[in-house]
């Protein structure tokens, strides 16, 4: 077109375009760049799976320009959640890096409520740990070879039915719990059991002095597994029940009544 061949017209258009950029777009960009926003930033290194506490994060004011849409801005929405990735000091936190539940490999530890304990025992050979076939939720019996040095192989009364909550490889990763943690399957090194205080003490002693074998008793629904544990808990309650003083007094009186000479012998007559 002829109009664009006129240098004067082209010059005027360039000047107008420059004015639009200087007085229109540039102020808009400056205002956007100067806007502030509060975000949550990491103040202490956080490992994947860690629960985030108030000491690990802080709220800071930064430029709002070009911030990710899913960045966390409220500290209260971060505290108490679990990191799904490693976070370093100075990192800001994205919603995608948070979870309301702990990592699957540690979830069972957060379910402990104080009534039971988690204790690990060593799988000293491939065979003693059921050839790597144990899984979380299994009910097992603990078989002890050469129990108390007497040459007998027994299942202690306290360890007839015990729940497996984790099987762990030597690398520290859970193995055979339904999670793919490595391309090559690792052999189990320890098994973690859910036990009472009395069972924990027995297992700790046996871990030091005996060779343990784990025999699978049940694998199935949690409801049926709970029946085995209830039966075991009831037996432990009987084994470790505190003696009733009144009952002991009654037994003594009955014994004296049955043996007339007991009273005279006690008084020296």
pLDDT digits (tens, 9 = 90+) for 135-176: 888 999 999 988 877 888 999 999 999 999 888 887 766 665
Mean pLDDT estimate for the chain: 79
Average pLDDT rounded to a whole number, residues 54-60:
92
- Spatial CA neighbour of 236 closest among 195, 177, 191: 195
| Structural domains of the chain, with CATH | 34-99 (3.90.1210.10), 107-239 (no CATH)
pLDDT for res 54: 92
Highest mean pLDDT among 3-7, 32-36, 48-52, 88-92: 88-92
Whether 254 has a pLDDT exceeding 60, the answer reads no
- What is d(CA 66, CA 34) in angstroms, rounded to the nearest whole number? 11
178 versus 236: the higher-pLDDT residue is: 236
Cα–Cα distance list, 139 to 28, 36, 116, 152 (Å): 67, 57, 15, 23
- Residue bearing the bigger pLDDT, 15 or 54: 54
Q: What is the pLDDT of residue 250?
A: 57
Distance between CA atoms of residues 62 and 6, nearest Å: 49
Strand partners, 162: 140
In sign, the C-alpha dihedral spanning 74, 77, 78, 79 is positive
Three-state DSSP state, 79:
coil
Residue-wise pLDDT for 189-244, tens only, equals 899 999 999 999 999 999 888 889 999 999 999 899 999 999 999 999 999 988 76
More confident residue, 263 or 119: 119
3-state secondary structure of 256: helix
Share of the chain above pLDDT 70, in %: 72
**CA–CA–CA angle 112, 117, 123 (5° rounding):** 115
- Most confident of the following: 9-13, 19-23, 93-97, 126-130: 93-97
List, as one string, the DSSP characters of 22-71: IIIIHHHHHHHHH-EEEEEEESS-B-TTPBP-GGGEEEEEEE-TT--TTB
């Amino acid at each position: 077109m002829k109009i664009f061949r006129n240098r004067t017209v082209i010059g005027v258009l360039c000047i107008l375009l420059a004015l639009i950029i200087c007085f229109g777009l540039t102020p808009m960009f400056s205002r956007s760049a100067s806007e502030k926003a509060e975000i949550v930033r990491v103040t202490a290194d956080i490992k994947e799976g860690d629960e985030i506490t108030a000491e690990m994060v802080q709220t800071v004011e930064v430029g709002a320009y070009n911030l990710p849409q899913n960045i966390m801005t409220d500290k209260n929405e971060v505290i108490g959640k679990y990191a799904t990735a490693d976070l370093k000091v100075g990192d800001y936190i994205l919603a995608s890096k948070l979870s309301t539940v702990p990592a699957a490999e540690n979830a069972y530890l957060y379910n402990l409520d104080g009534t039971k304990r988690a204790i690990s025992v060593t799988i000293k050979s491939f065979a003693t740990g059921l050839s790597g076939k144990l899984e979380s939720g299994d009910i097992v019996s603990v078989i002890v070879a050469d129990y108390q040095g007497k040459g007998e192989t027994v299942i202690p009364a306290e360890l007839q039915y015990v729940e497996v909550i984790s099987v762990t490889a030597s690398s520290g990763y859970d193995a055979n719990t339904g999670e793919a943690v490595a391309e090559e399957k690792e052999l189990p090194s320890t098994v973690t059991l859910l036990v009472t205080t009395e069972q924990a003490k027995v297992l700790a002693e046996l871990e030091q002095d005996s060779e343990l074998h784990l025999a699978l008793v049940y694998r199935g629904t949690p409801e049926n597994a709970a029946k085995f544990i209830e039966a075991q808990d009831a037996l432990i309650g009987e084994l470790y029940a505190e003696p009733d003083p009144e009952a002991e007094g009654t037994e003594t009186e009955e014994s004296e009544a049955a043996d007339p000479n007991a009273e005279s012998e006690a008084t020296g007559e």
